[in-house]
Structure 1
Amino acid sequence: MSKTQVTQEQLAAIKAKPFDQLTGEEQEILLGDAAAKKAAKQNGLRETYSSMRDSLIVGLLTRAEKLSADMTAFKTQAIAELDTFAEIMKEYSGRADNADDKGNFTIESPDGLAKIIFSNNEKSKFNELSIEAEKHIMLFINSEFGDKPAAKIITTLLERTKGSLDIKLIQRLYKMENDYQDENWKRGIELLKESWQPTDVASYVRFYKRPTKQDKYTLVNLNFSAA
């Protein structure tokens, strides 16, 4: 009996026998049938895996894109409404415009169970004028101090990280502005202040709620990875 001539009835009869009573040919037929079934199962799993993978990519990505668009639209709308509220609040209070006012505020519901915190973070950096400022300060150092310890203190405050001056170090220089009357020193400090320019403003809105006034506020999480 060859494997190609085995009928379903013959295969069933072979399976009904104890394995140790099968002939060599029958054992081969039975093992071949098991291998065929295993291969068929693997093919089925491969098709299921491939189909599910493709479906997940399309389905989840489509939903993620919609969610991202909804989040972007909500953020834009929320910031616009809070900016408008800030202007009305400022007008109502009679407060004059202040260039240093970043527009940060917190509003709380009358029952004390919800609040919104709105903040603006202004990003700034030193522009090309800072290079000229350094040159003026170095002229002052060379003429005033040479290699004295004071020279090292000032030059240390002018050190750059990845090509950029550190505003915290430069602010220490600002505190020394009136310590010297040298023209190069004064001009250098003036140019440093002028070169510090805003590059961007990032606005943040945070929402909080709590069951009762005795409870702590809980952040309404809008961060996907932390949800």
Structure 2
Amino acid sequence: MSNQDTPAGYMRDAKGRLVPEHLVKPLDSLMDQAVRALIGHAEALSAQIARFRGHSFDDIASFLSIAADQYGAKIGGAKGNITLTSYDGTLKVQVAVADRLTFGPELQVAKALIDECIVDWSKGARDEICALVEHAFRPDKEGQVSPDAVLALRRVEIGDDRWQRAMEAITDSIRIVGSKSYIRFYRRANAQAPWQAITVDLASA
């Protein structure tokens, strides 16, 4: 039940039981108030950011449509990546489209081949490779492996035929299951100054 279902003069505990307010410890009551106030602000800000993101993409789409009509050409790079800058070169908006990857059953073949290599290789100089492999195939709490960590293995040059076949299996295992668009904002003092990101997410603020 939500807090709106709680009768006046009571608080609902984590088990759903009604507790008279005078029996709730003052510190617990104060913490409850603080948490509810913060969550209220966070939800409002989250909704505002979501609206801003939607408006931003709409504005960019409108500009691209006007540009295409005027010049008969498409602006933007591969997969919809695009950079827009102000006339004075001090403001920049970037749209980046990143693929979401998953792996097919070929990844298990790659893991088996790599395990064979590790068993045969002597320890010492190749310890860092073992650590890299262990990190690459370690699942997260959702049981998924990190695409970045797995794909990093392909940058390791090893002549062993099994390693080479494992890298081919990793390549064959890649499945693109969708994409996500990101929009980032930058400003700088003048056209020669380095770009500074304008933070719009709480984690990076």
Shift of residue 85, structure 1, vs aligned partner: 5.5
Determine which of 146, 153, 171 is the counterpart of 1:169.
Answer: 153
Percentage of identical aligned residues: 23
Shift of residue 205, structure 1, vs aligned partner: 1.6
Tell me what 2:7 maps to. Answer: none
Q: Matches of 2:185 and 2:55 in 1, distance apart?
A: 14
Contact 1:160 1:166 (C-alpha < 8 Å) held by counterparts: no
Shift of residue 75, structure 1, vs aligned partner: 2.0
Tell me what 2:6 maps to. Answer: none
Contact 2:64 2:74 (C-alpha < 8 Å) held by counterparts: no
Tell me what 1:71 maps to. Answer: 49
Q: Matches of 1:188 and 1:83 in 2, distance apart?
A: 42
Provide, for residues 78-130 of structure 1, a one-character-per-residue CA deviation record: whole Å limited to 9, x for no partner: 245546756876894369xx9xx233221101122311122223242432122
Structure 1: unaligned runs, 5 residues or longer: 1-45
Determine which of 181, 186, 192 is the counterpart of 1:208.
Answer: 186
Tell me what 2:83 maps to. Answer: 106
Q: How do residues 112-191 of structure 1 correspond to structure 2 at under 5 angstroms? A: 112-132=89-109, 159-161=133-135, 162=138, 164=145, 166-172=150-156, 191=169
Tell me what 1:93 maps to. Answer: 73
Q: Number of residue pairs matched?
A: 163
Tell me what 2:175 maps to. Answer: 197
Give the aligned residue type for 1:193: T
Shift of residue 197, structure 1, vs aligned partner: 1.4
Q: Matches of 1:210 and 1:148 in 2, distance apart?
A: 51
Give the aligned CA root-mean-square deviation in angstroms. Answer: 4.9
Structure 2: unaligned runs, 5 residues or longer: 1-24, 140-144
Q: How do residues 9-24 of structure 1 correspond to structure 2 at under 5 angstroms? A: none
TM-score (norm 1): 0.47
Give the aligned residue type for 1:169: L
Q: Matches of 1:159 and 1:224 in 2, distance apart?
A: 33
Q: Matches of 1:85 and 1:127 in 2, distance apart?
A: 39
Structure number with greater Rg is 1
